[in-house]
Amino acid sequence: MLRAWRRALVPALAVLAVLLASCDQSSQVAAFPPTTVCRDARPAAVQAPLDVTFLAESDTHLGGDLEAPWLGSPVGASPPRMEAVQRYVAQQANTIEGRAWPAELGGQVEKPLGMVIAGDLTEDGTAAQWSAFERVYGSSPQSGLLKMPVAESVGNHDHRLGNDDVAAQVTRRHGSVAYSVDWGPLHVVSLGEEPTDASLVWLRRDLACVPPSAPIVLFFHKPVAGPFSAGGFLSFNANAQALLSTIQGHDVVAILHGHVHRTGPYEWHGIPVYVTGSAKNEARSFLVVRITDDRLQVAAWNYEFGDFWWWEQRPRHGAGSVPRVQGKRAYDGREPLVPYPVDPSAVW
């Protein structure tokens, strides 16, 4: 009798542990969407050939002010307001399809499947600022000025007044601030402001529904390494190893983040990481990302100057015929951080 009671208790305790972990969330995580049953729309396998394009930005700071002079074409008042700049971003994102990639990469940009926005959506997390965000990026898919799906995460500015209104709005839109969406064969995962113990429990369940061949992109607000990363969740080795263990066996193509208001590429444990830029300061760019079976191409479109200002190409899956490429250019003395400083104490 006692042995039978123990056999029944052990699985019950395991379920309880997962439930408690899911409830042990910081204020940035309202709830986790259920993933115990895999979504029917998720493909059983990736169909070859793989060729997907999407966009990424961060730190839209609706309601804030520009902290560096605007040097591009006039955008509304002088200096331009942040909403006017974000409208300009959306207009350029809507027309990025068909533009030529940097000559070293060749070809033209295909239609983006969507845009990732890696946190600090607003300056202070107020209702008025969120309304401005939705005017540009939509209250529902493609209902705003940007005419493509949006996957957004929260950042520290979105709750810096002690309110969780933006997190509640993201949760309304996606089921949680930690969630996943599928854009064709591409599995896009938001981990909110940054990973947490609880979100890694959820992520493990989410990835159990994803074919090993599916390309995966992770995004969140805070940096993985480099400036402003000290003290973050992934700066502790045990947490870094927990994330690496969770994604092991999956095709994690890249990690995207914001927070630092700069842009550039680097690596973390062999995974390409990309810092997206911000309209608030001098790195006024969004990323154009292309993933194929044999290569990863990323280029930062500087919407202030109307051109790509850094780019790179990496071979995937050991494709020896694909060269590693990296390039950049400066405008009016402004340069992207290529190479990016991965030292947490680095300053610029």
Mean pLDDT of 32-39: 57
**Percent of the chain at pLDDT exceeding 70:** 86
The pLDDT score that the predictor gives to residue 10 is 40
The pLDDT score that the predictor gives to residue 9 is 44
Tell me the pLDDT band of 8, cut-offs 50, 70 and 90: very low
Structure tokens at 29: 């995580």
Tell me the pLDDT band of 79, cut-offs 50, 70 and 90: confident
- The C-alpha atoms of residue 321 and residue 312 are separated, in whole angstroms, by 16
Task: Yes or no: say if 146 and 133 are a contact pair by the CB < 8 Å rule.
Answer: no
Query: CB neighbours of 132 closer than 8 A, spacing ≥ 6?
Result: 62, 63, 82, 83, 86, 122
- The C-alpha atoms of residue 17 and residue 277 are separated, in whole angstroms, by 39
Mean pLDDT of 163-174: 95
Mean of per-residue pLDDT scores for the chain: 88
Sign of CA dihedral 223, 227, 232, 238: positive
The pLDDT score that the predictor gives to residue 142 is 77
Q: Select from 3.40.50.1820, 3.60.21.40, 3.40.50.970, 3.40.50.2300 the CATH code of 49-176+258-328.
A: 3.60.21.40
DSSP-assigned letters across all residues of 197-240: HHHHHHHHHHHTTS-TTSEEEEE-SS-SSSTT-TTSGGGSHHHH
Q: How big is the CA angle at 175 (ends 124 and 28), to the nearest 5 degrees?
A: 35
Structure tokens at 100: 């030529």
Mean pLDDT of 21-34: 46
The pLDDT score that the predictor gives to residue 24 is 39
- The C-alpha atoms of residue 128 and residue 215 are separated, in whole angstroms, by 36
DSSP-assigned letters across all residues of 288-325: EEEEESSEEEEEEEETTTTEEEEEEEEE-TT-TTSPPE
Sign of CA dihedral 41, 42, 48, 50: positive
Q: In what order do the strands lie in the sheet with 51-57?
A: 150-153, 115-118, 51-57, 285-292, 295-302, 307-315, 325-328
Task: Yes or no: say if 302 and 255 are a contact pair by the CB < 8 Å rule.
Answer: no
Q: How big is the CA angle at 317 (ends 313 and 323), to the nearest 5 degrees?
A: 35
DSSP-assigned letters across all residues of 61-93: -BT---SS---SS--SSSSPPHHHHHHHHHHHH
Q: Is 12 helix (H, G, I), strand (E, B) or coil?
A: helix
Task: Yes or no: say if 269 and 275 are a contact pair by the CB < 8 Å rule.
Answer: no
- The C-alpha atoms of residue 231 and residue 7 are separated, in whole angstroms, by 41
The helix or strand, by DSSP H or E, that contains position 286, with its residue range, turns out to be strand 285-292
Mean pLDDT of 102-108: 97
Residue 11, judged by CB atoms within 10 A of its CB (0-12, 13-18, 19+), counts as exposed
Cβ burial 304-322 (10 Å sphere, 16+ → b, else e): bbeebbbbbbbebeeeeeb
Please compute, for residue 48, the number of CA atoms within 13 A of its CA located in the half-sphere on the CB side.
3
Report domain extents, the chain.
49-176+258-328
The pLDDT score that the predictor gives to residue 2 is 39
Query: CB neighbours of 172 closer than 8 A, spacing ≥ 6?
Result: none
The pLDDT score that the predictor gives to residue 41 is 52
Query: CB neighbours of 61 closer than 8 A, spacing ≥ 6?
Result: 82, 120, 121, 122, 123, 157, 278, 279, 280
Taking Cα atoms as reference points, which of 237, 232, 257, 225 lies closest to residue 343? 225
Q: How far apart are the first and last CA of the chain?
A: 68
The pLDDT score that the predictor gives to residue 45 is 59
